[in-house]
Chains A and B, each alone.
Chain A
Amino acid sequence: MDVGVTDRGAAAEPGFDTWVGARVPALLRFAYLVTGSQQAAEDAVQSALASACEKWSLVGRRDDPDAYVRRMVVNAHISAWRRTGRRESPVADVRPAAAADPAEGVARHDAVWRLCAQLPPQQRAAVVLRFYEDLDDDQIAEILGVTRSTVRSHVHRALTALRRELEAAETGEL
């Protein structure tokens, strides 16, 4: 009688160490933009890397493990967002619209961050993937598990909202 206890996954598959060492900074920046806080970003990346490490025999076979892990990061954040009542997406360091800093660039950066903080997590992730990661509709749709039309809708609505905010700021309505 075989009484051995299976211990599958005694160590990470070869290749995980090489991959992860080069990718952590980018993943943390991506997660920071998606989640809006350092703590949430670290939690999401940690969760994604733990899963990737255990499943590297599957994940590592992909042409682009990054996309896979970015999706894990987004899913981890959306799950956390749902568990905490959908409204606790952190808003870190958001200055009011009429910031004291006179520099137009800083004001515009603030407007971007303030808008991101208002977006539902999936839409926010779409925006980050488009304008920070420079991915196209197909790539974003694959990562988010949605259709291309949903991606386009997310991005278009975000652009419209940002334009409205910028124009309002310029005309002094904010």
Chain B
Amino acid sequence: MDEREVEQVFRAGLEAKARDAEVTAPVVARARAEVSRRRRTRRIVGTAAAAAVVLVVVGTAVATSGDERSTTEPPVVSDPATATLPPDDGLRTEYWGAVAVDVPAEWGYGGAPLASGRESVACYPVAMVGPGGQRVEGRPSAESLGWVGRPIAVTDVCAVYPWIEHSPQEEPSAPYVWLGAAVEPGLVRYDNGFVQETVEAEDTTVTVGSDDADLRAAILESVRPGHLCAQALPHVPQPRVGVSAERRSKLVRAEVCAYRVDPRAGSSSFLLSYAAELDPADAEAAFAAAEAAPRAEVDCDYQPTEFVVLHATYNDEFPNDVIDRAAVFETGCDGSVTLGDGTVRALTAEAVAAWASNGIPAVVYGPTGGKGAMIDSFIGPQG
């Protein structure tokens, strides 16, 4: 039986089976009902929160006392769509905890307000890393590039939030999205036309700042539960080798998942801080480099605060299953990689280079003491 004949069997079989589908099911009506229910939920929650907003406005007088800026409560995204908006057409998806949001692909990465004692600081609220992971040099480019900010100190230079009066931050020059920032839900209007809108979603906050109302709306409408990587982990996981390394066939999907200690009070788990799909070739290169690295010799007694999981899914040799593979990269102390067979390898630049790009250099701290070959792969030492 030649290939064309097999293809024809496939076509005829699928065509025949497709006729079994019931195509009069009222899915459009159900979809409309689902959309209406979401909107009702948003309106109800938004209205109910209005009283609390008054208190927030009073309590944040520094931020909102000007006539030109005001704070209101926007709708809470309480039931976002479960289907994902594909990150194409110039978009990419960013993750924080359980939330995902689509942003323009050309945006970089920077800081967002994080709780620090009794105040919030953003370190620093501009694009400090470009979309590919390269450092952004020079003020003009840093201040014109949109960015995704997380509540992580990317530098030791910080700006107090709410912004100090007459500070440069009072006139935003580039659009931004903040994930998990220490910002109250509501609107902040700036004198130069920028509007900052913060909503609650998936037990965190999503903030969008822009002078483009359509862009703000499109970004906020994309807020949804994340589907890539576990959203939180109770402890540093043990990597897996899968049922059989020998049965690994084609690598069909790879993802890099960064975690850090959940900054919220009372939590001892690790929160997803960054997630991205990884090119299969890069994933294979990272696994190979990690396996080739020398065994870790430095035994640090420390409490991990962050780690990165490289996870890959392979087709089984038999087409009825998938095989998982993972490695856990710890960047604390001198850095190490725990492989699926239980061995612990030293962290090397080669094992890091394949995945420490895009947002990683603005989200994950590097090994303490600094390692020259990896200095551009991570946030790096500060102070």
Q: Contact residues of A with B, CB < 8 Å?
A: 1-10, 12, 20-21, 24-25, 28-33, 38, 41-42, 44-51, 53-55, 57-58, 62, 68, 71-73, 75-76, 79, 82, 86, 93, 105, 108-113, 116, 118-120, 122-123, 127-128, 131-132, 142, 145-147, 150, 153-154, 157-159, 161-163, 166-167
Q: Which of A5, A29, A128, A166 is B6 in contact with, Cβ under 8 Å?
A: A166
Q: Which of B10, B47, B320 is A131 in contact with, Cβ under 8 Å?
A: B10
Q: Restricting to B43-81, which residues have a CB under 8 Å from any CB of A?
A: 43, 46-47, 50, 57, 70-75, 81
Q: In the complex, what's the smallest C-beta–C-beta distance from B239 to chain A, in angstroms?
A: 19
Q: Which of B32, B74, B81, B88 is A51 in contact with, Cβ under 8 Å?
A: B81
Chain A residue nearest to B281 in the complex (CB): A147
Give bound CA distance, A2 to B86, whole Å: 34
Question: In the bound complex, do residue A47 and residue B81 qualify as a contact, i.e. CB atoms below 8 Å apart?
Answer: yes
Question: In the bound complex, do residue A112 and residue B14 qualify as a contact, i.e. CB atoms below 8 Å apart?
Answer: yes
Question: In the bound complex, do residue A25 and residue B23 qualify as a contact, i.e. CB atoms below 8 Å apart?
Answer: yes
Given known A-B contacts A51-B81, A161-B319, A112 and B23 have beta carbons under 8 A apart:
no
Question: In the bound complex, do residue B89 and residue A150 qualify as a contact, i.e. CB atoms below 8 Å apart?
Answer: no
Question: In the bound complex, do residue A147 and residue B280 qualify as a contact, i.e. CB atoms below 8 Å apart?
Answer: yes
Q: Which of A29, A57, A116 is B21 in contact with, Cβ under 8 Å?
A: A29
Question: In the bound complex, do residue A75 and residue B250 qualify as a contact, i.e. CB atoms below 8 Å apart?
Answer: no
Q: In the complex, what's the smallest C-beta–C-beta distance from B172 to chain A, in angstroms?
A: 18
Question: In the bound complex, do residue A49 and residue B43 qualify as a contact, i.e. CB atoms below 8 Å apart?
Answer: no
Most buried by A among B18, B189, B227: B18
B16 within 8 A of A: yes
Q: Which of A42, A76, A132, A162 is B15 in contact with, Cβ under 8 Å?
A: A132
Q: How large is the interface on B (under 10, 10 to 19, 20 to 34, 35 or more residues)?
A: 35 or more
* Interfacial chain A residues near B20, Cβ < 8 Å: 32, 93
Give bound CA distance, A79 to B84, whole Å: 9
Q: Could you write out 26 A-B pairs with CB less than 8 Å apart? A: A2-B70, A8-B75, A8-B217, A8-B221, A29-B19, A33-B18, A46-B30, A49-B27, A50-B35, A51-B85, A53-B31, A54-B81, A57-B214, A72-B84, A75-B227, A79-B83, A79-B227, A111-B9, A113-B17, A120-B319, A123-B319, A132-B14, A145-B277, A157-B250, A158-B10, A162-B6
The 7 closest A-B pairs by CB, nearest first: A112-B13, A49-B31, A32-B21, A25-B23, A51-B81, A1-B70, A131-B10
* Interfacial chain A residues near B3, Cβ < 8 Å: 159, 163
